[in-house]
């Protein structure tokens, strides 16, 4: 039987904008939900993000983009993950995403998009549901 795997999340900010308050709030909230959050800091290239995601063996990559450049950066990250055989990693995007861009990001493989004002507990619950286990790694629905 495989041991319980606590949920590990990489929170990264691709591109050049320097506003990381949102990313830090989410990192903190996921920590409070019991997850292990690796925060990589500002100004990450897609290559750096994907390499870190692979080395850290995360279940989730959360990208925070507030600069409007999400269509530039996000598909590069998902494409690189695919290329490296890691397209089972759950990719989420947080930031200011116009409604018209949502299908584009979803088409690129993004499974969750969270705008300003999203309760952080929603993000944690979404992750647990998508992965089918709790933050501590207990399979959901297998409690008895």
Tell which positions 85-114 bind another protein, by CB under 8 A. Answer: 85-88
Residues with Cβ < 8 Å from 122, sequence gap 6 or more?
A: 114
17 binds another protein (CB under 8 A): no
Q: State in Å, rounded, how far the first CA of the chain is from the last one.
A: 16
63 binds another protein (CB under 8 A): no
Determine if 40 is a binding residue for another protein (CB under 8 A).
Answer: yes
Q: For residue 82, what are its two tokens?
A: 């695919």
**Cβ burial, residue 111 (10 Å; 0-12/13-18/19+):** middle
Q: How far is the CB of 27 from another protein (least distance, A)?
A: 5
Instruction: Find the shortest distance in angstroms from Cβ 101 to another protein.
Output: 27
Question: Which residue from 15, 25, 31, 72 is in contact with another protein, where contact means CB under 8 A?
Answer: 31
- What sign has the CA pseudo-torsion 84, 5, 130, 66? negative
* Residues binding another protein (CB under 8 A): 1-6, 27-28, 30-41, 44-45, 47-48, 51-52, 54-57, 83-88, 135-137
């Amino acid at each position: 039987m495989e041991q319980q795997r606590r949920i590990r999340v990489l929170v990264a900010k691709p591109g050049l904008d320097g506003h990381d308050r949102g990313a830090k709030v989410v990192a903190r909230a996921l920590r409070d939900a019991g997850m292990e959050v690796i925060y990589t800091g500002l100004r990450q290239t897609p290559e750096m993000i994907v390499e870190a995601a692979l080395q850290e063996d995360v279940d989730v990559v959360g990208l925070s983009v507030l600069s409007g450049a999400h269509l530039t950066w996000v598909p590069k990250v998902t494409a690189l993950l695919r290329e490296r055989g890691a397209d089972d990693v759950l990719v989420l995007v947080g930031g200011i995403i116009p409604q018209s861009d949502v299908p584009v990001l979803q088409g690129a493989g993004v499974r969750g998009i969270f705008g300003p004002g999203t309760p952080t507990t929603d993000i944690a619950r979404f992750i647990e549901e998508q992965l089918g286990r709790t933050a501590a790694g207990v399979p959901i629905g297998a409690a008895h």
